[in-house]
Amino acid sequence: MSKLQFKNKWVLVTGASSGLGQEMARQLAYQHQANLVLLARRRDKLEQLKTELEKDAKVNVKVVVADLSNIKDVDRAMDDILKDEQLYGSILNAGVTYFGRHAELGWDQFETMLQTNVVSVVRITNRLLAHFEATGNEGGILIVSSMAGLFPVPYQSAYSATKAFILTFARALTHEIKNPRFSLSVYAPGGIVTEMTAGENFHDLQGWLMPVKQAAKEGIYALQTRKSTYVPGLLNRVGGFFMNLLPSKFITGKMSKVYERALNKAQGPNPKI
């Protein structure tokens, strides 16, 4: 398949109010001249970005406010987005994380993570795939997973599991697509410098995090070139290769020590744990 060309095409970006989603939206507008559908919960952030991009990048921007942990909001948003049949590309980036001891993760917090990271992604993908299969239009989806979906991460157990689900889901689903002009890609970055990793718990891991501009650029590249599964950064790819050669228990154990040390330094000593 030929590369996707975003100029004057409509591209959906979820989680566009901050972090990786916001940076992807900016690069799509300034560097690719794409028109954008920006989706997130925070209207004020989306409206600010819309004003900036329409003024400075000279593109068209539509704001859709939705809470992706609420299935009714997901369906309402997709009804609105697909009604004019102009959508060309989609970046399903919205997600929430948790870094800490799993026993301290509240059930409500876990359900929100599950609904946002898994259920909304599957629901939106189902709607998009049905649309592109029915119309035969050219286009593509990029699902943002994580290296935490490739290699289990202790102290991010639930988050890691959600990313593993969508990684496996997308890898399998891509082989069911009948429209030869439509592609489904998975993007699996490591940690990224965003709001999600700005807390004290992540302070000791900052040296491992990729700058958001680089992560956004590589994600757009993965969508545009229709990569099946794409891990950004040479060190990540080389590291991933060698990690696959080692016993998973050994790798997970090493990661556990690194993350536990970072968590303990952030929270201070706790002799009861």
Query: Which positions are annotated as active-site residues?
Result: 159
* Local structure of residue 118 (DSSP, 8 states): I
Whether 10 and 36 have beta carbons less than 8 Å apart is answered as yes
Tokens found for residue 156? 């991010």
Half-sphere exposure for 143 (CA within 13 Å, toward CB):
35
Residues in CB range of 58: below 8 A, 6 or more apart: 33
48-to-53, 60, 150 alpha-carbon distances in Å = 9, 14, 35
Query: Coil, helix or strand for 99?
Result: coil
* 166: nearest Cα among 78, 240, 94, 251: 94
Distance CA 263, CA 159 (A): 16
